[in-house]
Every structure is written in structure tokens, then in C-alpha cells.
Amino acid sequence: MEMVPSTMTEMWTTMGSTIASFMFIWAIIRQYCPYELRRYFEKYTHTIMTYFSPYIKISIHEFTGDRLKRSEAYVAVEAYLSVNSSKTAKRLKAEMGKDSNNLVLSMDEYEKVTDEFRAAKVWWVASKVVSATRPMAYYPEQEKRYYRLTFHKRYREMITGAYLEHVVKEGKEIKVRNRQRKLYTNSPGYKWPSYKQTMWSHIVFEHPATFGTMALEPDKKKEIIEDLVTFSESKEFYARIGKAWKRGYLLYGPPGTGKSTMIAAMANLLNYDVYDLELTAVKDNTELRKLLIETTSKSIIVIEDIDCSLDLTGQRKKKGGKAMADDEKERKEVKEESGNSKVTLSGLLNFIDGLWSACGGERLIVFTTNYVEKLDPALIRRGRMDKHIELSYCGFEGFKVLAKNYLNLETHPLFDAIDGLMKEVKITPADVAENLMPKSPLDDAEKCLWSLIQALEEAKEEAEAEAAAAKKVVEQSQDGGGVCSENCLAEKASE
């Protein structure tokens, strides 16, 4: 019986000295052996340890084959652990979250946390490998981050199946809930990526516009919202009919009628990112393709003022004489404005429905224009631009939305006068909004309404004066016996 403690002591002593000798050899190897030999030794020690260990390890690296894109699995695990580790981890790092007013916590490097799934215990470690810097290396020292999951081999099937599925699914949901939406732009003069750079630069998207604050006929608003929501919920439908999950919107109408505002409202409704594509800054069709491939899912790709962006008007209907000359002049101007860009109409059409436009999924493509009639019909046919939305002058219903937003008024005795004037003159929502905006702290709602009435009356007088001038021109031309074309009448009236 007395032998037992002594045998135990001997055993511990032997184990202790074995470990000490091993550590000593390891220290010598680290100190004196060349890097290659060290790596070799490490590799085999590792293999022997793994052979005897009952634990399995899975690594999830931040970058895999494609160095330009973070691995989706890594991003999902990062999000999952940001919520599940923040209660147990002792060292956390904090980053700015959604709307820049809350901090999102996640586990810091080399931190270890435990998770449980159906009574199985697993361990996560956040780690990184710093690659050796070589003298004269082109790229600076690289850090390769990864997460390592460790679990007992008896849970192999459950962890590699159900648990990882659960982590990725929950991680993606957390990411969507926490993500800060971004507004991307392709800056002019930007050079095609060097290491790990992209052709897009971005800022946080924080536009406050919503469909609730937009002055729009209620039926039209409802129709657009339903269309957008149906699109965002139709993943299976698009897959079933064999169509890429994207939808094109053409927004057209005079300046100040809310086209850009509607894009922001769309992004806020669907929680999408916005890619504001400046076509004049795109060198050629190849660059356009690269830009498109970089866009991510759940995004709106916007080309504003498509008619001014490039000479994309294609083969327009032939017009006679002067109109044709104007047309040519205009094209020349557009060409000059668009600088050296060689993006063509066919390049843009391929951009909309080419094979690679399907990569990424769930995307809206929005064009805006002030002159829909100038666009090539091929560019805006259904199937490319699926929904055409006209944004027009402000009606009384639109005014009521703005009065509620700007002045918190639902009704007022001056509303009737405004309704009457709005039926007679055209005014853009931008002009209505400007008049309803208090100009000093002393301005009350009634003063703002009077300011709008005054603007409407002035617009009415102007329209009446123009109509009278046009009438006079017609009368003069009839007295002179000459026949005046529509164009010539317009010219004379403007004189």
C-alpha cells in the first residue's frame, strides 16, 4: 500500500523530466535551427500530437483562395461569436455598429471562448499567423487571421453538420441586423486595384428619406412599395423561372421631383447598400464589368442622369433639318462631358443582362433621367428596366405629406387655397419643400404656408404671361399670313 504514493511520485518525476527535456530541446531548436528545419520539426510534432489527441480542430481563415474577398464563412463566424462570445470572453474588442451610435463587441485575438450545442462543448479561438517578412518584399508583412474550433471526436458528425450550419445561419442574421449600410462610389481617376484595394470607395449610408416622408400619390406609393417587397421576397420564384434575381427601375421626371430621394427610400426600405456608378469615370466596358463583379448582394446599382452620362442614345429616330442639327450638337457636348470614357451602349446592355450580372444576386438597377424620350428604347425596354416610374409635379396629396413632415400640420384653413392653386400651376416637390422650410426660428407654420401661396401665385402669373406671349405670336403670324411651325412658335414666345 505504501508503494502507491512512491510509484506515483516517481511517475510524476519521470513525466516532469521528460517534458523539461522536450522543452529544452525545443528551445535549442528554436534558437539555433534554420527556419526550414524548425518548420519541419513543428509539422511532425503536430502530427504526432494530433494522432493521440481525442480532439478535432477546424480552422476558418479570413481569406482563402480569393485574396480580394473575405471568406463568407469567416465573416459569419465573426458575427456569431460577436454575440455569443461577448458574455463569456474576457478580452473583447469594440467597433462602431449600425447608425454609428452603438459599439459592437467581438472577441479579441488569441481569446478563447466556450460554446455549447445539444450538450456538446466546443471551444473557439481567434488567432492569426504573421507571415515572415522577406527583405525587399513587395507587400508588407501579412497577417492571416483565422478562427479555430475544437471539439471532441465523439461529436464529429453533429458539429461538422448541424452545429456549423447553425453558426453560419445565425452569424448571417446577426450581420444583417448589425451591418452599417454603405454608399459606394467609383471615384474618377482611380487606378485599378493594387493589393487588396477595390475600385469602389465607400462611406456609411445614412440618408433619412423613407417612403413615409415622400410626397407621392398614395396609390402610386403603395404600388412601388409592394413591388419592391415582392422582389426582395422572391428568391425561390426567380430560381424557379431561371432568371437572375435582379430588377431594373427607370425613374424619370423633371428636376426636383424626388428621383434621388426615392433611391434612398428604396435602400432604407429593403436595407440595401447603394452603388452610385459614375459612368463618365469608367474607362471602358472591361472596367465596367470589373466594377459590377465587385458589387455585393442586397444592393442598388444606380446610374443617375443616364442621358447625360454617355452617348448612349443609340439610333434615335431621324428628325428633319434643325432638330437634327441640335441633336448632333447635343451628342457632341455629351461626348465632351464624358471625357475619355469608352463605355458603349452594348457594353451597358451587357452590364444589365450579361451572364456575370447574375453573380451576387438580389440587386436592383436604377436609372434616372430628366428626359426619358432621349433614351434608346433598347436600353429601357421591359426585361431590362422592368418598372418605369414617372415622378412628376407635386399634387395636393403630396403637399399634405410635406406639410405633415415639415410643419406637423394635417389640416389648416389655408389648405383649400393651396389645393386650388396647385390645380392651376405646376410646382415641384423640391420647391414646395423649400417654401415649407422655416427660414428663421420665428417662422411659424402659417408664415410658411403663405410663402408657398406666394410662390404658387408668382408661378401662375409667369405661366399666364408666357401663354399671353405665345398667343400674341400666333396672332401676329396669322396677321402676317405666314405659317409658323411649332418650333418657331416656341422660339418666338421665348424671345
Q: Which is nearer to ligand ATP, 231 or 252 (CB)?
A: 252
Residue selected from 135, 255, 480, 482 as contacting ligand ATP according to rule CB under 6 A = 255
CB 307 within 8 A of CB 369: yes
For 107-172, give the secondary structure using H, E and C.
Answer: ECCCCEEEEEECCEEEEEEEEEEECCCCCCCCCCCCEEEEEEEEEEHHHHHHHHHHHHHHHHHHHH
269 is a contact residue toward ligand ATP (CB under 6 A): no
Name residues whose C-beta falls within 8 Å of residue 344's C-beta, 6 or more positions apart in sequence.
285, 312
Range in contact with ligand ATP (rule: CB under 6 A) among 195-203, 256-264, 448-456, 483-491: 256-264
Q: Which is nearer to ligand ATP, 445 or 484 (CB)?
A: 445
CB closest to Mg ion, residue no: 260
DSSP secondary structure, 256-301, as one string: TSSHHHHHHHHHHHHT-EEEE--GGG--SHHHHHHHHHH--SSEEE
Residue selected from 216, 266, 274, 334 as contacting ligand ATP according to rule CB under 6 A = 216
Range in contact with Mg ion (rule: CB under 5 A) among 65-73, 136-144, 252-260, 487-495: 252-260
CB closest to ligand ATP, residue no: 258
Q: Which is nearer to ligand ATP, 299 or 428 (CB)?
A: 428
Spatial distance between the Cα atoms of 205 and 298, rounded to a whole number of angstroms:
14
Q: Which is nearer to Mg ion, 106 or 309 (CB)?
A: 309
370 is a contact residue toward ligand ATP (CB under 6 A): yes
Residue selected from 246, 247, 259, 363 as contacting ligand ATP according to rule CB under 6 A = 259
Reference 156, options 124, 206, 200, 117; nearest CA is 117
In the shown chain, the binding pattern of residues 425 to 444 toward ligand ATP, with x for contact by CB under 6 A and - for none, equals: ----xx--x-----------
Report strand pairing: 273-276 vs 299-303: parallel
Given ligand ATP, Mg ion, none, residue 256, with its beta carbon under 5 to 8 Å by kind, binds ligand ATP
Spatial distance between the Cα atoms of 157 and 228, rounded to a whole number of angstroms:
41
Reference 422, options 399, 403, 401; nearest CA is 399
309 is a contact residue toward ligand ATP (CB under 6 A): no
260 is a contact residue toward Mg ion (CB under 5 A): yes
Q: How many whole angstroms from its chain centre is CA 413?
A: 44
261 is a contact residue toward Mg ion (CB under 5 A): no
**Interacting residues with ligand ATP (CB under 6 A):** 214-216, 255-261, 370, 429-430, 433
Q: Which residues bind Mg ion (CB under 5 A)?
A: 259-260
